[in-house]
Amino acid sequence: MVRMLKAGLGLILLLQGFCITAAWSAAGPTPAFGEEVQKQKEIYDSKGARTPDGYVIDRSLLSYAHLLPAEFFKSLSKLGPQDRWLDIGAGEGRAVIDYATARYDAMRPPELREIEGRARCVAISIEDRRNARWYNATADLEPRKIEYLHGRTFGDYTADELGQFQVITDVIGAFSYTQSITRFMEKALNMLAVNGSIYTVLQDVGWENGANKPHYPNAPFLTEIKQADGSDMKVCQWLKTISCVEVTCEAKDGFTPPIEVYQVRKTCDKVTVPDASLVHFTAGTPPERRFVLRNSPGAGVRTAGEAR
């Protein structure tokens, strides 16, 4: 049964998948896995009355600021016309529109208004979900001030195509849905400028401090990482094993389900990402996933941007 999650206290799920192939064991994926992937695709393709709870595509910039670490809005406020912001799983692109228009001015605290102008923004969505709000905004902006890319997953793009960014956001998007958290981080960090940050979030995940339990009775956390010996590794701990990054993790229990939010700041270019392989996947919003860390000689660490 597909597990659907409902938002609480203003948390609205943003479902923009990042469906890419994970590294598999020699046995390969099972038929059940294929069935779950098909169910997930049906969720991505759903429209109208067939759209499940949680498939919300109009998350505002205010909701980003409410959900992500406080440092996110500070980072955004420091960007100037020479900088770029990438929003992965952007839905209608509402957060980008808010940033590019007067709504952002009303949100920004006076102490963070020293930089004039806006960064250039790229919004990515699997499907084209632009509406009149997007087209009205772009009509009043200089060409390519905000861009909207669709028809491909984030994993299909290269750094040469998209370029580099000072801020990357993923709000209940690719990082929550991908079949390869390793590949996602490789891609994102390869597109992130040194001293730039990725801001993202996971629902119903084991917190760094170990103080929480799975939200649903008799169910696991939505995202779990196991070490080769079967012991648990927290997602925060896994992120901190990536080289050339500084990671902060913040647990938030004022949401249903509870969440953990992350800032991953890139400190140098020699990024390596520990290889976590997918071993369990159940479709949902978001899906239930389990990864196993590969630590055999010559495996388990991958360089950002390395081809799979």
Amino acid 92: pLDDT: 93
Amino acid 57: pLDDT: 83
Asked if the structure places residue 304 within a domain, the reply is no
Asked if the structure places residue 50 within a domain, the reply is yes
Asked if the structure places residue 190 within a domain, the reply is yes
One-letter-per-residue 3-state SS of 200-253: EEEECECCCCCCCCCCCCCCCCCEEEECCCCCEECHHHHHHCCCCEEEEEEEEC
**Which run of H or E residues covers position 63?**
helix 61-67
CA distance 188 to 155: 9
Q: Which two tokens stand for residue 245?
A: 């990054």
pLDDT, one tens digit for every residue, the chain (308 residues): 445 443 333 333 333 333 333 333 334 455 688 899 888 888 777 776 776 777 678 899 999 999 999 999 999 999 999 999 999 999 999 999 999 999 998 888 888 777 888 999 999 998 888 999 999 999 999 999 999 999 999 999 999 999 999 999 999 999 999 999 999 999 999 999 999 999 999 999 999 999 999 999 999 999 999 999 999 999 999 999 999 999 999 999 899 999 999 999 999 999 999 999 999 999 988 999 999 998 633 334 444 443 22
Between the two ends of the chain, the Cα-to-Cα distance in Å is 31
Asked if the structure places residue 219 within a domain, the reply is no
Which of the 8 DSSP states describes residue 112? Answer: G
Give the chain's radius of gyration (CA, Å).
19
Asked if the structure places residue 108 within a domain, the reply is yes
Residues of the domain holding 181: 9-20+31-204+249-268
Domain of 124, CATH number, reads 3.40.50
Q: In the chain, how many domains are there? A: 1
CA distance 20 to 156: 9
Amino acid 30: pLDDT: 59
Asked if the structure places residue 223 within a domain, the reply is no
| Burial per residue of 168-193, b for 16 or more beta-carbon CB atoms within 10 angstroms, e otherwise | bbbbbbbbbbbbbbbbbbbbbbbbbb
CA distance 71 to 249: 12
Asked if the structure places residue 264 within a domain, the reply is yes
CA distance 49 to 52: 8
Asked if the structure places residue 240 within a domain, the reply is no
Task: Say whether 52 sits in a helix, a strand or coil.
Answer: coil
CA distance 195 to 61: 22
